[in-house]
Amino acid sequence: MAFDRKRLESGGFLLFLALISLGLGLILSAFMGALLWAALGALLFQPLFQTLLRRWPGHRNRAAGLAMLIITVAVVLPALILGSLVAGQAAEVYDQMRGGQIDVSRYFGQLHDALPLRLQHWLDSSGLGSFELAQARLAEALNNSLSMIARQALSIGANAAGFLLAFGIGLYVMYFLLRDGERIAPAILRSLPLEADIAARLAEKFAIVVRATVKGSGLVALAQGALGAITFWIVGLPAALLWGMLMVIGALLPAIGPAIVWGPVALYLLATGAIWQAVVVVLSGVLVIGLIDNILRPILVGRDTGLPDWLVLVTTLGGIEVAGISGIVIGPVVGALFLTGWDILTERRMGKAANGPRVDPPRVDPPCVDEAEQAT
């Protein structure tokens, strides 16, 4: 067997690329979240940069710097302030639950007792066992959720230097991605070991899903959460900002939506005799919060992602489980690229089948008929 030096060198170079890429990924793993959001931010705010660049042609540094200033003042600082307020309310509610000032099981018990007897019997005989067990599980789940938010807030406070470092790196990288994105993106596409049309199609699908998830679903969810927080504040619900943020998370999930938060709140208010408060929550949820999606989404998202709702739901939940808050974007992107990749493969296979060599069907001669039988 002859020694193939060219194949060996090619395989060695590919192995080197794989190892060095893996090494770079390990080195950058501590800042992967910051780099991801820097790339997403540069993609979303590229139109702002282009607008400023048309104002000052040839001054890319000035346009990118002013874009970063606008982003910091209009997006970053409000997000930090809102995050600190939500974390503070979560920690306060968690402390009250641990101290017994808030008894979730008692609240669910009040709701259970206010239900009709037939519904009470149905709940007691359900597959969950006793309703008291369901109360305990719901209380435990809520307690764990608030505990996690509180721990994250304390972790950020204890590791403030690392958080600020990652945050600063994200903004720094985002500046260069804004300024040089027009050259970086084509270079990345050219370096991919894919055909040019396939790489371009995958990149287009990536951009569509990112814009639809962050600019569309994200802003719509924030609007619904803000309206929910205002509604909860009007009816006197404690920690209204925290429940509004939970509504934002629910609004990101199709087939669930913000009703997963305001629905139980309205039921509790109705069961405990707060009639007008319950009516306000229901009217706001149906007429305002529920319709805001139909109004804002067509304005913010020009094209559909092409993903079915069930896949968006599953990939979003799975992405959050794997990658935390970044999974809200990573999950749907992976799902969209999965479907696009298989669509491309199917189109290629069907195209090859249609353009392949023509094969005539085998000829089948008619059965021989005897002349005597024809005569008869």
Q: What is the pLDDT of residue 122?
A: 67
Total length of the chain: 376
Tell me the domain boundaries of the chain. Answer: 33-191, 195-353
Buried/exposed 62-91: b ≥16 CB within 10 Å, e otherwise: ebbebbbeebeeeebeeeeebeeebbebbb
Q: How far is CA 289 from CA 45, 60, 178, 313, 340, in A?
A: 27, 41, 34, 20, 33
Contact yes or no for 65/45 (Cβ under 8 A):
no
Q: Decide: helix, strand or coil at residue 370.
A: coil
Q: Kindly give the interhelix angle for 32-44 and 5-28, rounded to the nearest 10 degrees.
A: 90
Maximal CA-CA distance, the chain: 107
Find where tokens 């706001």 sit. Answer: 284
The pTM of the whole model exceeds 0.75: no
310: nearest Cα among 293, 335, 333: 335
DSSP letter (8 states) at residue 29 = G
Q: What is the pLDDT of residue 20?
A: 93
pLDDT along the chain (376 residues), means of 10: 68 88 88 86 89 90 93 87 79 70 61 67 57 53 54 52 78 91 86 85 86 78 89 86 84 76 82 83 87 72 64 81 80 87 88 55 46 42
CA distance 87 to 156: 10
Find where tokens 């669930």 sit. Answer: 256
Contact yes or no for 64/78 (Cβ under 8 A):
no
CA distance 64 to 59: 9
Q: What is the pLDDT of residue 106?
A: 63
Residue type, 194: L
Q: How far is CA 301 from CA 54, 128, 187, 206, 294, in A?
A: 24, 41, 27, 14, 11
CA distance 130 to 121: 10
Q: How far is CA 179 from CA 45, 76, 167, 204, 366, in A?
A: 11, 19, 19, 20, 75
289: nearest Cα among 234, 240, 248, 237: 248
Residues 6+ apart with CB under 8 A from 246: 225, 261
CA distance 30 to 28: 5
Q: What is the pLDDT of residue 307?
A: 73
Q: Decide: helix, strand or coil at residue 129.
A: coil
Over its C-alpha atoms, the chain yields an Rg (Å, rounded) of: 29
Q: What is the pLDDT of residue 129?
A: 40
Find where tokens 């639809």 sit. Answer: 212
**DSSP secondary structure string for all residues of 306-335:** ---HHHHHHHHHHHHHHHGGGHHHHHHHHH
Q: What is the pLDDT of residue 109?
A: 65
Alpha helix ranges (H) inside 29-130: 32-44, 46-55, 60-71, 77-98, 104-114, 117-124
C-beta atoms surrounding 335 within 10 Å: 21
Q: What is the pLDDT of residue 78?
A: 87
Residues 6+ apart with CB under 8 A from 123: 112, 115, 131, 134
340: nearest Cα among 193, 202, 211, 194: 202
